[in-house]
Amino acid sequence: IGTHLAAFTRTRTTCGYCGVGCALDVLTREGEVAAVRPAADGPVNRGHACVKGRFAHGFLRSPERITEPLLRRRSGLEPVSWDEALGHIARGLRAAVTEAGPDAVAAITSARATNEENYLIQKFMRVVIGTNNVDNCSRLCHSPSAAGLTAAFGLSGGTDAFEDVERADCLLVVGANPVEAHPVVGARLLQRVLHGTRLVVVDPRAVGLAGYADVHLRPRPGTNVALFNGLANVLLTDGLVDEEFLRHRAVGLPELTAMLAGYPPDRVASITGVPADDLVAAARLYGVAERPAIVYGLGVTEHLHGTDGVRTLANLAILRGAVGTDHGFGVNPLRGQNNVQGASDMGALPDLLPGYGRVTDGVARGRAERVWGARLPDHEGLRIPRMFAAARSGALRVLWIVGEDVCATDPDTNRVIEALESCPLVISQELFLSETARHADVVLPAASWLEKDGTFVNFDRRFQRVRPALAPPGQARTDFAIVHAIAAACGADLGCPTPAEALAECGRVAPVFAGISHQRLDREGAIPWPCPDPGHPGEAKLYLDGFATPDGRARLAARPYLPPGESPDDDYPLILITGRRWAHYNSGNMTRRSGTIELAPSDHLDLHPADAARHAVRDGDTVLVESRHGQAVLPARLTEEVAPGQVFCTFHFPSSRANALTSDHADTVTSCPEYKVTAVRLRGARG
């Protein structure tokens, strides 16, 4: 076996799918991936990986990979040289800035890009173009986590390391389906439950963990805030709070106590549909635990009041004194995508610089200006939904999209397409001719996560190395190289010629990352932020010495329940929830071109048998789903995993056009779309 393995090259890297951040050993030979093995010493996965990390790499050599730049001509997208593509982009950028100003240009980056690539893109936008119009895909998923956790505790990340969460004696898993969306985490949580950890699951659907839960609460979609307030009410009423902690380490208790008087279990039951007894039982399980932990997902954030959801969920941990202490494991978002935490950490946000200094804060801006040697714009840029609105209105001249298939992943697809068609220059950096790339004017062939050098940050704030196992095919380039090439075509030099130098420079702009370097990561494997200097181990567990708020205290939030953007009515009697399935990832552009497609070759609409009977739909029938925003066609799957009155599908398959259905209702604080609540109806079932 040893002789046989010697014929392969082994590359240690980090999985490019979900936010768990599994360390993988990629075995290659003659330019092909021969096998992917989960690393036994992987800090998060410890020898495990899911079907995506292990087997979904067939996309690398798909004949559909884009291997040369494409430029839109009269006849459509045609191959051109890099020089021609870059010249076209540079002329477009110059014309837009000259004629309409820097804010006529915007960039959308993504978790597909490494930290160093995200860092370089936001630097290009701020320094070369002179705008803060840069945003990333976290806008669509965990931007309410960033806002809510920062407001409650001071920093924009989960509060604890996953290995600590595993030591909890009670898990409150809310709006997350880790068995499918974060399989390695899901499996490890399940192991803890099988060994006696108590489990409360909050999810309208019977997700994988729900079958093992002591209590499964199934609130009506859009009623989280009422539910969390109800749980907090029981904690207070039953005296299950840490009074010492509340006295010394938190503020806001009187206001919260007054508001929670309006959320007794009976009233919460009437809003949420959760039986009052179950609510009380769940609160008591969490309330009496010695080491409780909260793990949550997009079922908390993707709502009209998603940030309020994060704040009111965080209230529970604060009331229990279970955050920033050694008797509780805080509030921990499961980031959906590989580097969605890192994209935000690197400042690919319209209001925040690398390390979360505000663009409007002269001190933070001044630090970046000194490092970059440039004056920076001091007003906030456009969030993704407002970029599309600006494109539709004609105010946006250039939209540069890096690794994001917005036509598949963003809500209200028809309006997104309208925006792309209205924008004079759309640039797409992609692996494939995705739905978005088909609407672009220039398509640049990009490298995948298995062809890149850099770092990702996973869901518990760990920086880990990404190393290229293969060279990109044809003329494809890394996003890092492409950004440098675009800058050069514009006559600019961004400095930091290598990813290692880019991360080092980022540490000078953002003190919380100052101690993290490629060299250290190569030696140590993973380092969590904050990590202020090279001798610091990084803070896996936050806030033991105080919260990162001005007075060092956590903030309780008195937030009333407000209804979602859409509710079922006579015209649209069902609620659609969208989400993910285990074999696929996000828009599906990689997994649909890999071995995992055989495991789940198409999507389906999950429909409760009672609703199916009412609509005369049989299992496997094709149904037309309509919302106020669009239509989608899907085969029905009859299942009690969804509650009566609710349906579920994913956005993994462009053919099903799930996001043609979703609305432009969005979190009132962060503009995160309300993917979890869309009123729909069924039409035209046929066998």
**Which 8-state DSSP code applies to residue 597?**
G
Query: Could you count the other beta carbons within 10 Å of the beta carbon of residue 190?
Result: 18
Pick from 12, 52, 584, 608 the residue near ligand SF4 by CB under 6 A. 52
Pick from 22, 352, 558, 679 the residue near ligand SF4 by CB under 6 A. 22
Distance CA 466, CA 31 (A): 18
Q: Which is nearer to ligand SF4, 303 or 593 (CB)?
A: 593
Q: How far apart are the first and last CA of the chain?
A: 52
Q: Which is nearer to ligand SF4, 145 or 233 (CB)?
A: 145
Query: Could you count the other beta carbons within 10 Å of the beta carbon of residue 687?
Result: 7
Q: Which is nearer to ligand SF4, 20 or 502 (CB)?
A: 20
User: Is 182 a binder of ligand SF4 (CB under 6 A)?
Assistant: yes
Per-residue CA distances from 391 to 105, 107, 380, 382, 518 (Å): 10, 12, 17, 11, 38
By DSSP bridging, strand 554-555 and strand 250-251 are parallel
Q: Which is nearer to ligand SF4, 126 or 335 (CB)?
A: 335
Q: Where in 472-491 is the site for ligand SF4 (CB under 6 A)?
A: none
Residues 6+ away with beta carbon under 8 Å from 293: 160, 164, 165, 168, 170, 171, 172, 322, 328, 329, 330, 332
Q: Where in 501-530 is the site for ligand SF4 (CB under 6 A)?
A: none
**Which 8-state DSSP code applies to residue 349?**
S
Candidate ranges 16-24, 233-241, 429-437, 538-546; the one touching ligand SF4 (CB under 6 A): 16-24
User: Is 20 a binder of ligand SF4 (CB under 6 A)?
Assistant: yes
CB of residue 207 vs ligand SF4: minimum separation in angstroms?
Answer: 16
Pick from 11, 12, 13, 18 the residue near ligand SF4 by CB under 6 A. 18
Pick from 17, 463, 480, 651 the residue near ligand SF4 by CB under 6 A. 17
- Which of helix, strand or coil describes residue 331? strand
The residues facing 76 across adjacent strands are 73
Give the CB-nearest residue to ligand SF4: 53
CB of residue 20 vs ligand SF4: minimum separation in angstroms?
Answer: 4
Cis preceding linkage at 63, omega within 30: no
User: Is 198 a binder of ligand SF4 (CB under 6 A)?
Assistant: no
User: Is 106 a binder of ligand SF4 (CB under 6 A)?
Assistant: no
Candidate ranges 169-177, 179-187, 638-646, 648-656; the one touching ligand SF4 (CB under 6 A): 179-187
User: Is 151 a binder of ligand SF4 (CB under 6 A)?
Assistant: no
Pick from 21, 102, 157, 230 the residue near ligand SF4 by CB under 6 A. 21
- Which of helix, strand or coil describes residue 281? helix
User: Is 183 a binder of ligand SF4 (CB under 6 A)?
Assistant: yes
CB of residue 15 vs ligand SF4: minimum separation in angstroms?
Answer: 3
- Which of helix, strand or coil describes residue 445? strand
Q: Which is nearer to ligand SF4, 307 or 464 (CB)?
A: 464
| Number of residues engaging ligand SF4 in binding (CB under 6 A) | 14
Q: Which is nearer to ligand SF4, 511 or 525 (CB)?
A: 525
Contact of 485 with 79, CB cutoff 8 Å:
no
CB of residue 113 vs ligand SF4: minimum separation in angstroms?
Answer: 17
CB of residue 24 vs ligand SF4: minimum separation in angstroms?
Answer: 7
Whose CA is closest to 355, among 336, 375, 341?
Answer: 341
User: Is 178 a binder of ligand SF4 (CB under 6 A)?
Assistant: no
CB of residue 162 vs ligand SF4: minimum separation in angstroms?
Answer: 12
Candidate ranges 50-58, 198-206, 607-615, 656-664; the one touching ligand SF4 (CB under 6 A): 50-58
Structure tokens at 338: 């590989």
Pick from 97, 184, 213, 509 the residue near ligand SF4 by CB under 6 A. 184
Distance CA 60, CA 472 (A): 9
Structure tokens at 668: 């009132």
Candidate ranges 180-188, 410-418, 618-626, 644-652; the one touching ligand SF4 (CB under 6 A): 180-188
Structure tokens at 179: 């068995």
User: Is 600 a binder of ligand SF4 (CB under 6 A)?
Assistant: no
Whose CA is closest to 268, among 290, 283, 289?
Answer: 283
CB of residue 512 vs ligand SF4: minimum separation in angstroms?
Answer: 24
Pick from 12, 33, 53, 425 the residue near ligand SF4 by CB under 6 A. 53
Which residue bears the tokens 């600590």? 164
User: Is 349 a binder of ligand SF4 (CB under 6 A)?
Assistant: no
User: Is 49 a binder of ligand SF4 (CB under 6 A)?
Assistant: yes
The total number of residues shown for the chain amounts to: 687
Candidate ranges 47-55, 289-297, 403-411, 549-557; the one touching ligand SF4 (CB under 6 A): 47-55
Distance CA 155, CA 511 (A): 13
Candidate ranges 15-23, 262-270, 467-475, 635-643; the one touching ligand SF4 (CB under 6 A): 15-23
Pick from 50, 129, 426, 625 the residue near ligand SF4 by CB under 6 A. 50
Pick from 13, 15, 376, 541 the residue near ligand SF4 by CB under 6 A. 15
User: Is 354 a binder of ligand SF4 (CB under 6 A)?
Assistant: no
Contact of 415 with 406, CB cutoff 8 Å:
no
Which stretches does DSSP call E strand in 70-115?
70-73, 76-79, 105-109
Whose CA is closest to 549, among 256, 252, 150?
Answer: 150
Q: Which is nearer to ligand SF4, 95 or 599 (CB)?
A: 599
User: Is 162 a binder of ligand SF4 (CB under 6 A)?
Assistant: no
CB of residue 49 vs ligand SF4: minimum separation in angstroms?
Answer: 4
User: Is 39 a binder of ligand SF4 (CB under 6 A)?
Assistant: no
The angle that helices 384-393 and 413-422 make with each other, rounded to 10 degrees, is 50
Query: Could you count the other beta carbons within 10 Å of the beta carbon of residue 28?
Result: 18
SS (H, E, C) 512-560: HHCCCCHHHHHHHCEEECCCCCCCCCCCCCCCCCCCCCCCCCEECCCCC
- Which of helix, strand or coil describes residue 167? coil
**Which 8-state DSSP code applies to residue 451?**
G
Q: Which is nearer to ligand SF4, 184 or 512 (CB)?
A: 184
Residues that bind ligand SF4 (CB under 6 A): 15, 17-18, 20-22, 45, 49-50, 52-53, 182-184
